[in-house]
Amino acid sequence: MYLGADLSFVNELDDLGGVFYHQQQPRDVFELFHEFGANLVRVRLWHTPTVTTYSTLADVKRTISRAKALGMAVMLDFHYSDHWADPAKQIIPAAWAHLTDLSTLENTLYDYTHHVLVELNTEGLSPEFVQVGNEINTEILLDAPPTDAPICWPRNARLLNAGIEAVRDAAPQARVILHIAQPENIFWWFDDATAAGVVDFDVIGLSYYPKWSKCGIVEATQAIRQARERYQKEVMLVETAYPWTLTPGSENDHLLGADALLPEYPATPQGQRQFLTDLTQATLNHGGIGVVYWEPAWISVPAKPSHWENATFFDYQGRVHEGIQFLTHRYEQRTLE
C-alpha cells in the first residue's frame, strides 16, 4: 500500500526560510516524512507558470531527486495548465492557446508529455506514477472556466489518449492515473470516458475532501470497491486532507473551515489523525492501493502566508503534531470478498 504526501510546496518554503521541527530539532521535510512511513511523494507540474518560479520542470526535478534519494516512489502530476487545474478550471497553457486545430493540439500535448518524461528518465528521475491531468472532471485544455455544457468527448478523448500514449512511449514502466475529484463523480465520468475510448490507463485517482463531497468515509470507500469491480482498474486516493484546528493562524481565511468537518472527527490533531487512519483502513479494506495527503507541509512563512496551515501536520510554530502518525499506523491487510 502506498502512503504518500504531496510535497510540491516544500522547495519554495525551504528557500523562503521555513523551518520544520520534530522533537525540538529542525528537520528536512522529506526525511521526516520518510521516517514516519511515507513511501511516495506526489509533485505537480505547471507548463509555464507566471505567478511563481516553482512547479516548473526544474523545480519538479529537485523534488523528485529529494524523494528518490530516500527510496520513495514518485507520482508526477501534469496539470496541463500554467496554474491550478481543477474541476472549476482547466485552462490551456498560454503557449498553446493559439492552437485551434485539434490534431495540432493533440500532437503538442503528446510531444510535451513525452519530452518531460524522456528528460526525467535521462537524469534518473523517472516517476512510478504519472497523472494525465489533475481533477479532470471537466474537459481539459479549455480557453475559459467550464460552463454547464457537456464534455465534448470526441475532443477530450483524443487529448487524454495523446497524453496516455506519450507516457506509454516515454515511461513504459510508469502507471498511468486518470484523476477525478470526489467519489460521487467516478461513475458518470468513467462511464463516459471508457465509452469514448479512453481505456488504456492503470489507476483511477480520486480526490476526497469532505468539504466538497456529499460522501462520508463509508460511502467514499464503497465507491472504491465498486469502481475496481466496474472498470477492472486499481484505485488510489491521490488527494485528501482534514483540518487539525479551526483557530486562525497567519491567515484568517483557511480553505478548510468548519464546513470541512465530519461530525465524528473534531478539528484537533487527534481528530485529523483518526480521520486519516479510518479513511486509510477503509480504503485498504475496499481494495484501494494507497492514500496521498495533499500538502501536509504547506505552513506559513513571512513571505508566503498559507491558507492551508490548519490542514498541515505542523502547528503554527512549525512543530510536527500527531496528524502525521497516520503514516505509522499499523493497518490490517484484508482481502476483498
Whether 251 sits among the annotated catalytic residues: the reply is no
**Where do the domains of the chain lie?**
14-38+237-337, 42-201
Please provide the size of the chain in residues.
Answer: 337
Pairing of strands 40-45, 73-78: parallel
What's the CATH architecture for 42-201? Answer: Alpha-Beta Barrel (3.20)
**Strand partners for 176:** 130
Other beta carbons within 10 Å of 227: 23
Q: What is the pLDDT along the chain (337 residues), one digit of tens a residue?
A: 999 999 999 999 999 999 999 999 999 999 999 999 999 999 999 999 999 999 999 999 999 999 999 999 999 999 999 999 999 999 999 999 999 999 999 999 999 999 999 999 999 999 999 999 999 999 999 999 988 889 999 999 999 999 999 999 999 999 999 999 999 999 999 999 999 999 999 999 999 999 999 999 999 999 999 999 999 999 999 999 999 999 998 877 899 999 999 999 999 999 999 999 999 999 999 999 999 999 999 999 999 999 999 999 999 999 999 999 999 999 998 665 5
- For residue 336, the model assigns a pLDDT of 57
d(CA 299, CA 295): 9
Long-range contacts of 158-162 (CB under 8 A, 24+ apart): 158/102, 158/106, 159/105, 159/106, 159/109, 160/132, 160/133, 160/136, 160/193, 160/198, 161/197, 161/198, 161/200, 162/106, 162/107, 162/109, 162/110, 162/113
Return the amino acid letter for 55.
S
The yes-or-no answer on residue 135 being catalytic is yes
Q: Please give the model's pTM, rounded to 2 decimal places.
A: 0.97
Write down the catalytic residue from 12, 135, 165, 234. Answer: 135
* Candidate list 12, 165, 239, 309, residue with the active-site label: 239
- What pLDDT is attached to residue 78? 99
CA distance 237 to 283: 8
